[in-house]
Amino acid sequence: MSKPRKPKGRPVSGWLILDKPADFGSTEAVSKIKWLFNAQKAGHAGTLDPLASGMLPIALGDATKTVPYVMDGRKIYEFTVTWGEERSTDDLEGDVTQTSTARPTEEAIRALLPRYTGVISQVPPQFSAIKIAGERAYDLARDGETVDIPSREVEVHRLTLLKCEKDQAHFEVECGKGTYVRSLARDFGRDLGCYGHISLLRRTYVAPFAEETMVPLADLVALEKIEDRDERLAALDEFLIDTSEALAALPQIRVSEDQAHRLRMGNPIILRGRDAPVAEPEAVALAAGKLVAIGEIAGGEFHPRRVFT
């Protein structure tokens, strides 16, 4: 019987909050970070289009277990809509499909925004990762097919007009999971009778990570010049954020090292003390400030669902 293959790379864990440059794909960015950190595992929390720049949270090692919690968080984007053209991709990369010489007034734009705030119905772009009959919409669109994508409900918490120019308008939006900013631009243009597409897009926030935690890719690549491998990796690791930071919104309990050992073995523990929670559908267990497990509190016990080494 053959031995299981040893994973390549280091068992390094944590979050790297990358400031992704434009014209650089999200998958490409993850591969680059995984290589730089010599990490065994890596993944990202929410794709950014190649055209877009800004915050791309990348999980390394055990942090990949917390990706769903970050993907569900709120996001903030700054974006520019250029009027007069609708494009196949709803951004600069696509072919022009509709044109107009009309231009909206600032008053008309401001009057439109309340209609796009709150829970709204939105049709994703033709070039999107939505699956239609088991295939990605963008694959079908690249083959020349027009895809009938059903509308979906998304939530826009805040939508602000930052600046208005003759041919462009600049916005900031805070939105929930699944919101397509490209669709906002397309629908703005249609409602205003002038057509429009995204010409600039930058993500500045993915809950719970703040804008100041972003690290430019150039800063990481610059460390490649450090010849000593251990020194180079140690310098890179300084940019990592602890895995538990992704779970800041969940209730937290403190456990002893003995309890942590039981949890890591998959066993529940009894929570004692008058302040111990009786029931929580999802909570985090920490030992000496380090993440031990995500689990459920029921009947005065913590039951682990996902454990961390």
**What pLDDT is attached to residue 299?**
87
My answer on whether 97 and 162 are in the same domain is yes
My answer on whether 86 and 159 are in the same domain is yes
In a domain, 265, yes or no: yes
In a domain, 271, yes or no: yes
CB-based contact 301:270 (threshold 8 Å): yes
**What pLDDT is attached to residue 129?**
61
Q: Locate 63 and state its tokens.
A: 């942090």
In a domain, 139, yes or no: yes
**Active-site pick, 49, 62, 90, 187:** 49
In a domain, 9, yes or no: no
My answer on whether 62 and 159 are in the same domain is no
90 is annotated as an active-site residue: no
| CA proximity to 197, closest of 209, 183, 211 | 183
In a domain, 3, yes or no: no
In a domain, 1, yes or no: no
My answer on whether 196 and 87 are in the same domain is yes
My answer on whether 256 and 193 are in the same domain is no
Which residues span the domain enclosing 269?
250-307
The sign of the CA dihedral 7, 8, 12, 18 is negative
In a domain, 2, yes or no: no
What pLDDT tens digit does each residue of the chain (309 aa) get?
556 677 788 999 999 999 999 988 899 999 999 999 999 999 999 888 888 999 999 999 999 999 999 998 999 999 999 999 999 999 998 899 999 999 999 999 999 999 999 999 999 887 656 665 566 655 555 655 667 778 899 999 999 999 999 999 999 999 999 999 999 999 999 999 999 999 999 999 999 999 999 999 999 999 999 999 999 999 999 999 999 999 999 999 999 999 999 999 999 999 987 777 778 999 999 999 899 999 999 988 999 999 998
**What pLDDT is attached to residue 7?**
74
d(CA 173, CA 158): 6
My answer on whether 303 and 239 are in the same domain is no
CB-based contact 58:30 (threshold 8 Å): yes
d(CA 265, CA 269): 11
CATH number, position 192: 3.30.2350.10
In a domain, 169, yes or no: yes
How many structural domains is the chain composed of?
A: 3
